[in-house]
Structure 1
Amino acid sequence: MNFTLSSEQQMLQDSVRRFVDREYAFDTRTARLASVSAADCWPVFAEQGWLCAALPELHGGLGGSAIDNALIAQELGRGLVLEPFTGCAVLAAQTLAAADAPQQHADWLPRLADGSQRLALAYAEEQTRGLPEGLLARAEPVAGGYRLSGRKTLVVGGMQTDAFIVSALTAEGCSLFLVAADSPGLQRRALPLHDGSEAAEVLLEQVVVDNSALLGQPGSGLAALRQGLAHATASLCAELVGGMERAIEISADYLKVRQQFGVTLGSFQALQHRMADMAAQLELARSALYVLLDALDNLDGHDLQLRVSQVKALMGRAAKFVCGQAIQLHGGIGTTEECSVGHYYKRAVVADLLLGSAERHEALCAERLQASLR
């Protein structure tokens, strides 16, 4: 894998960082959280080409890869950006792109690319714990279509979306359906998350869709779902890497100016050791992200899923460690709402639970290891 960014990728990264520095300073983000009428930055994302970075050129995208999405997410993570880039522009868009559904590609991908409409993926249920398997939502055949019933939770971007990709069981297995957000029988309610962002809970009560809503063949949804989740995991991990970078930078600056006993805190060797431990965890996490990005290009099936679980488990723990240490280095002020490092920790906690927690992915890795030893 080539670790050197191309000139186009460097320009992409620089453009996102300039946006974050200009529009998402910590005070600005705090004001956005406090305002119910804060302007949404999605049109800016579309204008800059970030929404279409990894979508196929045939349907209005730029034909990039997961690396492009990771570069965008990493910079957005530095600013704790609230817009659901990973949830809508990566998770839902890449799931749709992976489905064998040419007509829906032609209808929806151009609109996702130009930001005129949004999709959210409604796949998680309480008992699935962030994984695609074990769902209880059902899709029963009816004349000319299907009737959907079930409850979905932690739908990132679900309150702003125009339609949902819904996973449900048919007789053939897991299938995916494109369901308009205003469909009769579909209800959604906001789920405020600990870090200030928002997800949705979606209730499907006898929602009827026609056959054109089915993405691909009945029972073929799990493969597309796993591909979308792999891309989204890489994007979410990149976001956490960006957050860890910023938490370390903020902590280093604080230690240079905060004084105790007449000297700066940065002169204490014990605190220098803590900063070194944080930097080491950041580099481990960054290397794990590179491994996952490489796997997206070169692995598939169970091998790719193993890499996803390995990296997600490591990243969740690393981010909570680094951001937790940043709070410790700030002392009591680090726990206040006015101090930014506490918000990076909150984001790390939420991100660890999205797309499957570290504990759940570790269990999957253990199951894979046990199976290989039999």
Structure 2
Amino acid sequence: MRSGRRRLSRVWVINGLLVVVLVGGGVAGYLVFFASDSGASSTTAVRTAAVSSRDVSEVVTAAGAVQSGYSAAASFSGTGTVASVDVKVGDVVTKGQKLASVDTAQASLQVTIAQNNVNQAYQTLVDAQAKGTSTPQQQTALDSAVLARDQANEALAATTLTAPGDGTVTSVSGKVGDKVSGGSSGAAATTTTAPTGFVVVTDLKNFVLHANVAESDVSKLKVDQAATVTVNALPSQPVQAKVTGVDLLPTTSNNVVQYGVTLALTDPPATLKPGQSASVEITVASATGVLAVPSAALSTIGAANTVTVLENGAESRKSVEVGVRGDQYVQITSGLTANEQVVLPQVATGTQQQGGNRVGTGTGFPGTGTGVGGGRVGGGTGTGTGPGR
């Protein structure tokens, strides 16, 4: 009986040791699990860049559309029936070339009548002068007749429509037999809308870009500033340009104030077409071969500019004076010397693992029951066997 109890005690002792071992192993595994699973951001080395000599440019960006440098609408100024249309879309014409005409019968008759009135008024005045009975009214009648004749001749000339300038016919809005009721004829300045008329002549060799810039940038723009235009349809063929004009008055849309700027394109691609959308970068300031640092290294508060410099492993702040501010680099006019190392903003490179719900299994005490297993504290639970209580 006693020997049986001693054997039972030994069993419990062994089992107790087993429990201690299992619990100790579980705790150790738990600590190892969390130490490896809870990732921490690694400390990165200080990033620096050397103060070096380079070219720095400040640019203003804008978007707009390609337009012809010259586009004009020619329309009949009088009434009549279209007698001829001498051009078609795509024809290249020169200034003064005949484009179309209306029936001249009515206009010719008016010229004949006006000329007869001039002749009669002139004869009346001459006869009165010969008799010494001429009056100022007779001279006035002659002057009026001459004026009416000149107007009749102008109307006759207007029956023929001529090209207002050199270019290509891009629109013909009438045909023989149409009735025209008069209008205006002349060149239209470069605008966002094309001119309209009986015939439209457009210069397809000389192009401009009309773009809109933000009100904060318009004060930086000046005539003759260089620019680079990228047409959306031809992204691999950038076009050089120059600013030719800046609008004095703004346009406002959805409370956004913008100013128009016109740029002349230099050697545009042969495939370029009016109306194509494009973006432009206008160089408003530049400096060649100057000391510069990356823009990210510069800190600006009000009118004060500072950088952090790394010297002998220690960081220190320095005040600097700046010149041209580019997107990537900033010119330093004083405060730094070549090859000094400026500190750049840190970039985190470590990985952080997020805790999630996990289900694990573990080993508990001998017996029956529920014990804590390998479940993670992120919502995980473990199941096992242990002594029932």
TM-score, reference length from structure 1: 0.20
Richer in helix (by share): 1
Q: From the CA coordinates, give the structure whose radius of gyration is larger.
A: 2
- Compare relative contact order (CA 8 Å, sep 6+) and give the higher one, 1 or 2: 2
Q: How high is the TM-score relative to the length of structure 2?
A: 0.19
Q: If each structure's strand is expressed as a fraction of its own residues, which one has the higher value?
A: 2
